[in-house]
Structure 1
Amino acid sequence: MDKLRRYKWKVLILFVMIVLFLPLFFLLSKKPLVSDVYINPKEVKDAVDKYQYVSGVIFGLEDEIEVEISGEKLTSIFKAASHLTPNMNFEIKVSHYGAVVLGTLDLSGFINNRYVNVSCFIIPDGNNAIDSCQVGGIYVPGSLVEFGVSVFLKIVFDSGVNDIFEQFIKSIEIEDNTLRLRAIKNGDLKNYIKSGLSDISSFIKSFSSRYNNKIDPDVIGSYLEFMLESDVIMSKRKLSLSEIFNVVFQHAKERSRISDARKENEYALWAVAMAFANHRFAELIDADTYSIGTKLSNLSSKTASLNNRNDLALHFLYSAIIERVGSEAIANNMGELKELFDANQDGSGFDISDLAADIAGARFSNFISSRKINAVHSQNLLIASHSEALFFPNVNRHRSITSEDFEKVIGSTENEEYTKTIEKLQAEVQALTLYQNSSLDDLSRNKSLAIIDTIPWASNGVWLAVDTHIHTKHSDGGHSIEQIANKAVSYGCDAIAITDHSDGDLHAGSLDYFLEIEAIDRAFPTLSIISGLEWNLPPYEGREHATLLFPEGHTAAMIASQFRRQFDDYRNPNNPFSSVRDGLKWLESSFDSYPVLPAVFYNHPSRKVDSFEETLRNLEDWAKENSVFLGFSGAPGHQRVPGDKIGSYFHKFKTHDRWDPVVSEVGGVWDNLLGKGKLLWGARAPSDFHGTRGDYWPCQFSETRVYSRDNSINGVIEALRKGSFFASHGKVVRDLKFELKHDKLERPAIMGETVPISGVEKLTVNIELTLNELNWKGKPTKLEQVELIVISNETVTSQVFDVEDYKIGHRIVMSVPVLAVGGDMAIRLRGRSFQPINGDYMFYTNPIMVRAIDETN
Structure 2
Amino acid sequence: MPHLPRLSPRHLLIPTAIAIGVVAAACGGDDTFVVPPIAQGRWIAGDLHTHTTQSADADVSQTLDKVLSKAFNTYGLDWMAVTNHLRVSTRDDKGNLLAAPIPMATGVERYELPRLAALQAPGAAYASKLIFSGFEWDMPTHDHIGIGIFDGGDKLAVSTGGVREFEYLFTTRDATMFDTTDVAAWKAKYGATRYNKTGDDALKAIGWLKDNYPNTSYAVINHPSRNKGSYTVEDFRRFNDLAPNIVFAIEGMVGNQMEPDRGGYTAAYTPENAPLRAYGGVDYVVAKVGGVWDALLGEGRRVWNLTDSDTHFKIVGNNSSGYFPGEYAKNYVFNGASGAATAKDLLQGLRSGKMFSVYGDLINALDFNLAGARERKEMGGELQVVSGEKVTITIRFKSPAKNNYEKPVDSGMAASVKPVVDHVDLIAGDVGAKAAQGTAAYAVATNASTRVVKRFTSADWKLGADGYYTISYDTVASKSQYFRLRGTNLGVDVAGLTQGGEPLADQRTAGADNLQRFNDINDRNYRSLWFYSNPVFVTVR
TM-score (norm 2): 0.67
**Deviation per CA, 1:613-646, whole angstroms, max 9, x where unpaired?**
x52111111101212111211111001123xx10
**For each residue in 1:234-286, what CA deviation from the matched residue of structure 2 results, as whole angstroms up to 9, or x when unmatched?**
xxxxxxxxxxxxxxxxxxxxxxxxxxxxxxxxxxxxxxxxxxxxxxxxxxxxx
Residues 706 and 666 of structure 1, relative CA distance in 2, 3 Å threshold? same
> Residue 233 of structure 2: which of 603, 616, 622 is its match?
616
Is 1:841 the counterpart of 2:529? The answer is yes
Q: Does structure 1 conserve the Cα–Cα contact (< 8 Å) formed by 2:149 and 2:158?
A: no
Letter in 2 for 1:535: W
- Local SS of the residue matching 1:634: strand
Q: Deviations over 1:640-667 (max 9, x none)?
A: 123xx10100123211111111111111
In the alignment, structure 1 residue 602 sits paired with structure 2 residue 221: yes
Letter in 2 for 1:641: E
> Counterpart in 1 of 2:487?
831
SS at match of 1:733: coil
User: Does structure 1 retain, via aligned residues, the 8 Å contact 2:139–2:145?
Assistant: yes
CA contact (8 A) 2:47 2:331 kept: yes
How do 1:132-143 residues align onto structure 2 when only pairs under 5 Å count? none
Matched, 1:503 2:503: no
Letter in 2 for 1:562: E
Aligned-pair identity in percent equals: 25
Amino acid at match of 2:149: F
The aligned length equals: 384
Aligned to 1:484: 67
Distance in 2 separating the partners of 1:560 and 1:458: 38
Does residue 564 (structure 1) correspond to residue 167 (structure 2)? The answer is yes
Residues in 2 aligned to 1:496 and 1:527: alpha-carbon distance in whole angstroms: 8
Q: For residue 534 of structure 2, what is the amino acid of its counterpart?
A: N
Q: Is 1:633–2:251 an aligned residue pair?
A: yes
Paired residue type of 1:842: W
From 373, 393, 402, give the equivalent of 1:765.
393
> Amino acid of the residue matched to residue 395 of structure 2?
I
Deviation at 1:610, TM superposition (A): 4.5
1:570 to 1:510, Cα distance in 2 relative to 1, 3 A: closer
Q: Which residue of 2 aligns with 1:472?
A: 52
Equivalent of residue 417 in structure 2, options 779, 789, 802: 779
Q: Is contact 1:521–1:527 with CA below 8 Å preserved after alignment?
A: no
Three-state SS of the structure 2 residue aligned to 1:717 is helix
CA contact (8 A) 1:833 1:840 kept: yes
Alignment partner, residue 278 of structure 2? 655
Instruction: State the alpha-carbon separation in 2 of the partners of residues 516 and 458 from structure 1.
Output: 42
- Alignment match, 1:591: 213
Distance in 1 (alpha carbons) for counterparts of 2:41 and 2:149: 22
Q: Please, which moves more after superposition, 549-558 or 824-833? A: 549-558
Q: Tell me the CA shift for residue 734 of structure 1.
A: 1.0
Distance 2:106 2:206 in 1: 20
- In 2, Cα distance between the equivalents of 1:590 and 1:814? 45
Kindly indicate which of the two structures has a greater share of residues assigned to strand: 2
> Which aligned pairs between 1:9-20 and structure 2 lie closer than 5 A?
none
Q: Is the Cα–Cα contact under 8 Å of residues 504 and 565 in structure 1 kept in the other structure?
A: no
* Corresponding residue for residue 535 of structure 1: 137
- Decide which structure has the larger Cα Rg and report it: 1
Is the contact made by 2:423 and 2:456 (CA closer than 8 Å) also made in structure 1?
Answer: yes
Give, in angstroms, the shift of residue 570 of structure 1.
8.0
Output the CA distance in 2 between the equivalents of 1:654 and 1:715. 34
Distance 1:457 1:559, change over 3 A: farther
- 1:646 aligned residue (246, 258, 262): 262
Residues 170 and 194, structure 2, Cα contact 8 Å, conserved in 1: no
304, 308, 311: which one aligns with 1:686: 308
Superposed counterparts of 1:13-412, under 5 Å: none
> How far did residue 728 of structure 1 move?
0.3
Amino acid of the residue matched to residue 719 of structure 1? Answer: G
Distance 2:104 2:394 in 1: 43
Deviations, residues 384-417 of structure 1 (Å, cap 9, x unaligned): xxxxxxxxxxxxxxxxxxxxxxxxxxxxxxxxxx
Q: Find the partner of 2:296 among 673, 680, 691.
A: 673
CA shift, 1:531, in A, is 1.3
Partner of 1:731: 361
| Deviation at residue 757 of structure 1 after TM alignment | 2.6
Deviation readout 1:435-489 (Å, 9 max, x if unpaired)? xxxxxxxxxxxxxxxxxxxxx9961221111011001111122212122111111
Q: 1:750 and 2:370 equivalent?
A: no
Q: TM-score, normalised by structure 1?
A: 0.43
Q: Answer 1 or 2: which has greater helix percent.
A: 1
**Residues 639 and 591 of structure 1: CA distance in aligned 2, closer, same or farther (over 3 Å):** same
Matches of 1:741 and 1:457, distance apart in 2: 10
Distance 1:629 1:637 in 2: 19
Alpha-carbon distance between aligned partners in 1 of 2:81 and 2:250, rounded to the nearest angstrom: 15
Distance 1:570 1:762 in 2: 58
In structure 2, C-alpha distance between the alignment counterparts of 1:703 and 1:514, rounded to whole Å:
27
Q: Which residue identity is paired with 1:631?
A: A
- Determine whether 1:494 maps to 2:78: yes
Which of 800, 812, 820 lines up with 2:477 in the alignment?
A: 820
Change (3 A) 1:712 1:555: closer
- Secondary structure in 1 matching 2:364: strand
Query: Which runs of no fewer than 5 residues in structure 1 stay unpaired?
Result: 1-455
Can you give the 5+ residue segments of structure 2 that lack an aligned partner in the other structure?
Answer: 1-35, 90-100, 120-125, 176-192, 268-272, 315-319, 406-415, 432-447, 492-522
Deviation at 1:526, TM superposition (A): 2.3
1:588 is displaced (CA, Å) by: 2.3
Please state whether the residue corresponding to 2:128 is helix, strand or coil: coil
Secondary structure in 2 matching 1:775: coil
In the alignment, the residues of structure 1 paired with residue 115 and residue 458 of structure 2 have an alpha-carbon distance, to the nearest angstrom, of 43
Could you say if the C-alpha distance between residues 580 and 754 of structure 1 is closer, same or farther in structure 2, counting changes exceeding 3 Å? Answer: farther
| Kept after mapping to 1: 8 A contact 2:43/2:334 | yes
8 A contact 1:549–1:600 mirrored in 2: yes
Once residues 362 and 304 of structure 2 are traced to their aligned partners in structure 1, the CA distance between those partners, rounded to angstroms, is 21
CA distance in 2, matches of 1:618, 1:718: 24
Write the letter of the residue equivalent to 2:194.
N
User: Could you say which structure has the greater relative contact order, defined with CA pairs below 8 angstroms and 6 or more residues apart?
Assistant: 2
* Kept in 2: contact 1:606–1:615 (CA 8 A): no
In the alignment, the residues of structure 2 paired with residue 752 and residue 528 of structure 1 have an alpha-carbon distance, to the nearest angstrom, of 23
